[in-house]
Amino acid sequence: MATATARMLTIQSLRSRLRPSAALGHSFFSTSTVSASAAAVEAERSRRDGPRNDWSRDEIKSVYDSPVLDLLFHGAQVHRHFHKFREVQQCTLLSIKTGGCTEDCSYCPQSSRYETGLKAQKLMNKEAVMQAAKQAKEAGSTRFCMGAAWRDTVGRKTNFNQILEYVKEIRAMGMEVCCTLGMLEKQQAEELKKAGLTAYNHNLDTSREYYPNIITTRSYDERLETLHHVREAGISVCSGGIIGLGEAEEDRVGLLHTLATLPIHPESVPINALVAVKGTPLQDQKPVEIWEMIRMIATARIAMPKAMVRLSAGRVRFSMPEQALCFLAGANSIFTGEKLLTTPNNDFDADQMMFKILGLTPKAPSFAKAEEEHEPEICKEALSSVG
């Protein structure tokens, strides 16, 4: 009750500040008061109180539904309060084991169930991976991410041990290291931590409700369980989703609500726009509009103010001015390089030009956050909750 009263007082206080002054007369303003949007109210709260994990779904929806210019403005305010607003992290994602995946993710050209023309390949050798990491570092990337098209790593001990070696070597180069290898068990997460892994990516993709329309071979709770193992091992969590899958706006709200109510917010939240690939069940989905990306990015920034919000897949479709709006809304991380796993991406030269024109600065590697020892957090509430 006290919390609800405090929220109402905050809204009333903010609205009183936005009310036109009587001293200015009625020639400039109508007699009606100006109502503060949910984006304005919650952004002020985030700046004042910092991150919280008790968001209701309705609160997230109210922020998401705010006028887009309000969202853009207040997302920018929160971003500038918690981050160096010109600083953008450059990451490179390499597919170290391509194709042949047994899962049925409707968006993925690497599934063996679809005819996409993609040939399955074995795990890349150490020399090729190290060369790619070196080139990424020389081009300005500070985080190197390795992806393998697997459902999980069970029964892949030889390959998993090879990846542990890759992690150690890339970390020794002074880069942050991230992996996305499918589902993990507790012991595997601990081994990755010992090898020096900075972050582990495991996206939730969409809301719990819409998820069965996209994937049937891995449950939503299995994804949350992997995030729990990663967090318990002391590895930074990278988890976000994809828009443009045919979902409703309510599903986008549901995804953000699940992420924002985890015991600890993900350190990195990738926002992906579907890149429709011929041969997949989602090949005919219409492209995502820039305003949809801005809504997702700004809402994520207000709800999870300290997270790195990554403008991820689909960025290649957006012009430089459109990407500038995404950075203004709160995005502060991108993937660079010609491909994201198997789909097209902006090349290094184009991104360097964009950084120069927009006055962006590359974010230096940060190992302190990954080195922090977190208290074990139990994700039972997230595992059993809807949305």
* Predicted confidence (pLDDT) per residue in 302-323, tens digit: 999 999 999 988 888 899 999 9
Q: What is the pLDDT of residue 101?
A: 82
Q: Mind listing the pLDDT tens digit for each residue in 276-289?
A: 889 899 989 999 99
Confidence of residue 367 (pLDDT cuts 50, 70, 90): low
Q: Examine the residue annotation and report whether 178 is marked as an active-site residue of this protein.
A: yes
The mean pLDDT value for 173-199 works out to 93
* pLDDT band, very low/low/confident/very high, at 342 (cuts 50, 70, 90): low
Q: Give the residue-averaged pLDDT of 155-182.
A: 90
Separation between Cα atoms, residue 160 and residue 163, nearest integer Å: 5
Q: List the single range of 107-121, 198-212, 228-242, 353-367 with lowest mean pLDDT.
A: 107-121
Give pTM, 2 decimals: 0.83
- How many C-beta neighbours within 10 Å does residue 225 have? 19
Q: Give me the pLDDT at residue 28, please.
A: 34
Is pLDDT at 256 greater than 90 in this prediction?
yes
Task: Lowest mean pLDDT of 163-172, 259-268, 340-349, name the range.
Answer: 340-349
Q: Per-residue pLDDT for 341 more than 80?
A: no
The mean-pLDDT minimum among 7-16, 95-104, 251-260 falls in 7-16
- Report how far residue 337's alpha carbon sits from residue 92's, in angstroms, rounded to the nearest whole number: 6
**How distant, in Å, are the alpha carbons of 142, 144, 279, 300 from that of 265?**
22, 22, 35, 11
C-alpha distance from residue 218 to each of 119, 225, 279 (Å): 23, 11, 21
How would you class 295 by CB atoms within 10 Å of its CB: exposed for 0-12, middle for 13-18, buried for 19 or more? buried
Q: How far is CA 285 from CA 113, 204, 280, 292, 316, in A?
A: 19, 20, 10, 15, 17
Per-residue pLDDT band at 18 (split at 50, 70, 90)? very low
Q: How far apart are CA 299 and CA 92, in angstroms?
A: 25
Q: Is 108 annotated as a binding-site member?
A: yes
Per residue in 41-81, pLDDT (tens digit) is 999 999 999 999 999 999 999 999 999 999 999 999 999 99
What percent of the chain lies above the pLDDT cut of 70? 82
Which segments of the chain does DSSP mark as H helices, in order?
A: 2-18, 38-49, 57-64, 68-82, 126-138, 157-172, 186-195, 220-232, 249-260, 290-303, 320-329, 348-358, 368-371, 380-384
Q: Per CATH, which fold does 87-384 belong to? A: TIM Barrel (3.20.20)
Return d(Cα 322, Cα 316) in angstroms, integer.
Answer: 11
CB 285 within 8 A of CB 276: yes
Mean pLDDT for 359-385 is 56
**Does 310 belong to an annotated binding site?**
yes
Any binding-site annotation on 379?
A: no
Helix 348-358 to helix 320-329 angle (10° resolution) is: 60
Q: Binding site annotation covers 105?
A: yes
The predicted pLDDT at position 21 comes to 37
CA–CA separation, 49 and 57 (whole Å): 19
Does the structure show a pLDDT above 60 at 89? yes
| pLDDT value at 383 more than 50 | no
**What is the band of 375 on the pLDDT scale with cuts at 50, 70, 90?**
very low
Please tell me which residue in 45, 91, 101, 295 is annotated as part of the active site.
101
268-273 and 308-311 beta bridge pairing:
parallel
- pLDDT at site 120: 79
Q: Where are the domains of the chain?
A: 87-384
CA gap 348, 336 in Å, rounded: 6
DSSP 165-213: HHHHHHHHTT-EEEEE-SB--HHHHHHHHHHT--EEE---BS-TTTGGG
379 is catalytic: no
Contact 200, 235 (CB under 8 A): yes
326 marked as binding residue: no
- Active-site residue, from 105, 179, 326, 379: 105
Residue with the bigger pLDDT between 110 and 297: it is 297
Q: Which two tokens stand for residue 82?
A: 């918690």
How far separated are the first and last CA of the chain, in Å rounded? 24
Q: How many CB atoms lie within 10 A of CB 159?
A: 17
Model pLDDT, residue 345:
62
pLDDT tens-place string over residues 143-166: 999 988 876 776 678 889 999 999
Residue written as token pair 């949305």: 387
Catalytic residue among 91, 179, 238, 379: 238
- 91 carries an active-site annotation: no
Which residue has 């001990």 as its token pair?
A: 157
Query: What angle, 0 to 180 degrees and rounded to 10, lies between the N-to-C axes of helices 290-303 and 68-82?
Result: 40
CA distances from 17 to 14, 27, 70 (A): 5, 19, 16
